[in-house]
Amino acid sequence: MRVGYISRIDDRKAVDYTRKLREDLEAEGFITSYDHIAHLSSRERPRQLDIDADLMVVVGGDGTVLRTVQLLKKQIPIIGINWGEVGFLTDLEPEEAPAFFRSIREGFPVEKRMRIAISVGGEYLASALNEAVIITSRPAKMLRFSLIVDGVAVGTVRADGLLVSTPTGSTAYAMSAGGPIVDPCIEGFLIVPLAPYMLSSRPWLMSYERSLEVRLENTKPAKLVIDGQKTWELHERTYLTVQRSSEPALFVDVGKKFFEKVENKLRCL
């Protein structure tokens, strides 16, 4: 089995753990296809990874997993080993990993997680596993948005920002902003206003089969942030279209139930 390794690099213990895990798995017969730690020694920051591997091992928190998904040219099944704060996207604790890898020599089940493809002005920018969020560039200044669903204007929102999340992202920024926790088996768009001016501006959950467009109606400067990894400046009268990405993120199913994981993780917050 060919394995790629990516570790968070701001924690020396995480780097050392990743190196040791790679060595142990090589001793077990696993083949190293890509080693992020070795790549760092070249002092080059990878823009996009075109890797031929059966599995990507990611040691870090949710941010490391999100960055990995963004870097992969073609999605590869990911197994996250938690070296962060909460880790909704990391299913294994460091001490669980050795036994788990011994159990998957003959293969493993894969869970698909929907991503959303974001276009601005008709031009595709990127896909998000968690969320795309529009925020004001000037503190204490509100933005105004129009929501267009299936070609029909369904409302105007005045808020500090607007978040479009996947079900996977419902336990991330969207949850902190007051959105519901959504079963990742459901495929849809979760729209959550950030600090809305009107109490009637509530979160929306709609099917991915709907056509969704978000229009920035005012002239105040704003930014688009995708998965906390990429940022773009938005201009007056910008419109965003949101679609289900044709390429979902892939995760190794380690057999842990989603709502059990939510209960255990939320106790850490």
The predicted-structure confidence for 47-92, as pLDDT tens digits, reads as follows 788 999 999 999 999 999 999 999 999 999 999 999 977 789 999 9
- The verdict on whether 35 is a catalytic residue reads no
pLDDT at 38 over 90: no
Are 185 and 236 part of one and the same domain?
A: yes
pLDDT at 42 over 70: no
Are 97 and 82 part of one and the same domain?
A: yes
Are 45 and 127 part of one and the same domain?
A: no
Give the range among 57-66, 91-100, 230-239 with minimum mean pLDDT: 230-239
pLDDT at 269 over 80: no
Domain hosting 127: range is 116-244
* Nearest partner of 33 among 65, 11, 6, judged by Cα: 6
pLDDT at 180 over 60: yes
Are 136 and 225 part of one and the same domain?
A: yes
Are 123 and 95 part of one and the same domain?
A: no
Catalytic site residue from 11, 35, 54, 62: 62
Are 82 and 178 part of one and the same domain?
A: no
Can you give the pLDDT at residue 43?
A: 52
Are 123 and 108 part of one and the same domain?
A: no
pTM for the whole structure: 0.92
Are 122 and 228 part of one and the same domain?
A: yes
Which pLDDT band, with edges at 50, 70 and 90, does 45 fall under?
Answer: low
